[in-house]
Structure 1
Amino acid sequence: MSEVKGCDLPEDLLYSIENNVWVRQESDGTATIGLTSYAGSLAGQVVSYTPKKAGKSVKKDKSCATVESGKWVGPAKSPIGGEVAAVNDAVSANPALINNDPYGEGWLVKITPDNWDGDSAALKTGSDALEAFKAKMEADGFKGC
């Protein structure tokens, strides 16, 4: 796992830098989506998670869930379009998982992609993602996780 300004950023995931979300294609063809540790640090402790329901269609760069913390309420924007295949009931019961384990138990939704190849082509991974997050954090004046 790599780190930028104290924020964990696994190099094997794909990232939408502007939306502070990650995505991982699963062996069953679905894609798991979650907030980055950077997003969790910006938002503060997450207290509420309201995902789109299974079976609902989600457009690329549109909300797949609403997340609320003590200082922020907003959408988690999906980096890919498709249909919600699963929501994370563990996060519904304990929204703090988004902060405490963003790349494991704190995932938000699983989506069956409409166009994985097209949508994922714009995402960054590995050192490209780390450099992009570093530049974003510096531009935002972010002190660190």
Structure 2
Amino acid sequence: MAELRGCVFPEDLLYHPETHLWFAPEGEGCYRVGVTPFGVAIAGEILLFTAKPEGLQLTAGRAFGLLEAGKTVFPVKTPVAAELLGGNPALADSAAAMNVDAYASWLVRLRVAAPEPGVLLPWAAARAGIEAQMELWRFDELASFQAPLVGAGAREI
């Protein structure tokens, strides 16, 4: 298990640094998808997650659900073309469990036909991109990080 700035990153998962998502392979192109601890931290306290309808065909960049954190609702977008197999029924009433264990609280299951090379990355390849995102968000350590107000968190690029 890798650790970066107080966030754990299981090395058996794949990551997409820009969206702060993790992908757990289940076989036959299917993945459980969730938000990394870093993604949960920058979102602030997560309250609800609502998945889009099962069977929906998604193009890369399309939302598979809505995440509510504090007073903000934002779309969670897939970085790959996929079929939405369904949302996590354990999050139907509350997604607060994500604040405690980001890896036990997956969002959706997706069937990915053929991910483009370099999109879903193993930990060793994703580390630099995740660290770059942490720099943008002024994220030094999970234990001391305070989620910024919307629009006030990231450094100017």
Of 86-95 and 21-30, deviating more is 21-30
2:59/2:82 contact within 8 Å kept? yes
Q: Which residue pairs with 1:113 in the alignment?
A: 112
Structure 1 residue 113: deviation in Å? Answer: 1.6
SS at match of 1:134: helix
2: CA distance, partners of 1:98 / 1:81: 25
Give yes or no for contact 1:35–1:76 (8 Å, CA) kept in 2.
no
Asked if residue 126 in structure 1 is aligned to residue 99 in structure 2, the reply is no
Please list, as runs of the form range in 1=range in 2, the aligned pairs for 1:1-145 lying within 5 A after superposition.
1-104=1-104, 106-116=105-115, 118=116, 121-145=118-142
The structure with the greater share of residues assigned to helix is 1
Identical counterparts, % of pairs: 31
- How far, CA to CA, are the matches of 2:24 and 2:119 in structure 1? 14
2:109 and 2:64 map into 1 onto residues whose CA distance is: 9
Shift of 1:37: 0.7
CA–CA separation in structure 2 for the residues paired with 1:9 and 1:131: 13
What one-letter code is carried by the residue in structure 1 that aligns with 2:137? D
Distance 1:112 1:135 in 2: 28
SS of residue matched to 2:132 = helix
**Aligned Cα RMSD in Å?**
1.7
What amino acid is the match of 1:17?
Answer: P
Given that residues 53 and 84 in structure 1 are in contact (C-alpha distance below 8 angstroms), is that contact kept between their aligned partners in structure 2? yes
Larger Cα-atom Rg: 2
Per the normalisation by structure 1, the TM-score is 0.87
Aligned length: 142
Deviation at 1:60, TM superposition (A): 1.4
Q: Is the 8 A contact 2:48 2:93 kept in 1?
A: no
